Amino acid sequence: MSKTALITGASSGIGLELAKIFAANNINLVLVARSENKLKALSAELHAKHNIGVTVLAFDLSDYNNAQKVFDACTAAYIQIDYLVNNAGFGDFGLFHESDWHKQEQMINLNITTLTYLTRLFIPGMIAQRAGKIVNVASTASFQPGPTMSVYYATKAYVLSFSEAISNELEPYGITVTALCPGATESDFQNKADMHESRLVKGRKLPTSAAVAAYGYAAMMKGQVVAIHGFMNQIMAESIRFTPRFLVRKIVRFIQDKK
């Protein structure tokens, strides 16, 4: 029996590349994002190339109430989700006290609340099947506070902690949970976060979304709980534990600041 993966934020970046990988492995897809036109174009491409079933759900997941609508649409179509990929998310660059509150609220809703809600909705079906895999896209930002991107870093710390906790809870049911932690990646993220002048990205050759997606897919299939993309990112994430907190804050501020 063919399996199905639901991917949020599937219209671009890591989500789009993951959709291509699932399709190449003959896994049917439910693609979720705001842009219906982009999703329909991707759906047509993947169906024609791999002859898989693709369902398009155009919802703005920064409104966490739409998580229930996504679940209801899958239920109405009798679609069992075997792989849940909570990829949708965005960041914002700048000092918190100068930030736009509505954008911060949407970020918290999307990066935390919707991700958590979708996970809660789809887990019972996986438990009933005694199988399933969940990927929550966190970040190397998960491991430390992030001056100039304070709310984004905090949301990703939540994703990592939440993912690790439920991976333990769901292990007896044959369900794995992977927190995928990429570093700065070549995608539309920098445009949405308005951080082109940051030392973190300016003048740097960043890993591609395709490379991160391939790494994340392999980690998910192995049932890896925390998957940090890139050797140097792994070293830095581990070194945080042995570095004084005041120094971590200063280092991250320096890296994040404008060049």
Known active-site residue 152 = yes
CB 6 within 8 A of CB 71: no
Distance from C-alpha of 232 to C-alpha of 236, rounded to nearest angstrom: 6
Residue 3: alpha-carbon gap to chain centroid: 20
* Non-local CB neighbours of 66 within 8 Å, separated by 6+ positions: 59, 60, 114
Number of Cβ atoms within 10 Å of the Cβ of 37: 10
Helix (H) or strand (E) holding 120: helix 115-129
Distance from C-alpha of 139 to C-alpha of 229, rounded to nearest angstrom: 9
Distance from C-alpha of 185 to C-alpha of 68, rounded to nearest angstrom: 30
Question: Which of 89, 9, 220, 227 lies closest to 19, judged by CA?
Answer: 9
Q: Please pick, among 64, 153, 156, 217, the residue that the annotation labels catalytic.
A: 156
For helices 13-24 and 209-222, angle between their N-to-C axes, nearest 10 degrees? 50
Torsion angle of the four alpha carbons 58, 207, 186, 152, in this order, in degrees rounded to the nearest 10: 70
Q: Please pick, among 152, 153, 158, 215, the residue that the annotation labels catalytic.
A: 152
Backbone conformation region of residue 57, classed left if phi is above 0, alpha if psi is from -120 to 50, else beta:
beta
State residue 28 phi and psi, 5-degree precision: -65, 160
Known active-site residue 156 = yes
Three-state DSSP state, 5: strand
Catalytic site residues? 152, 156
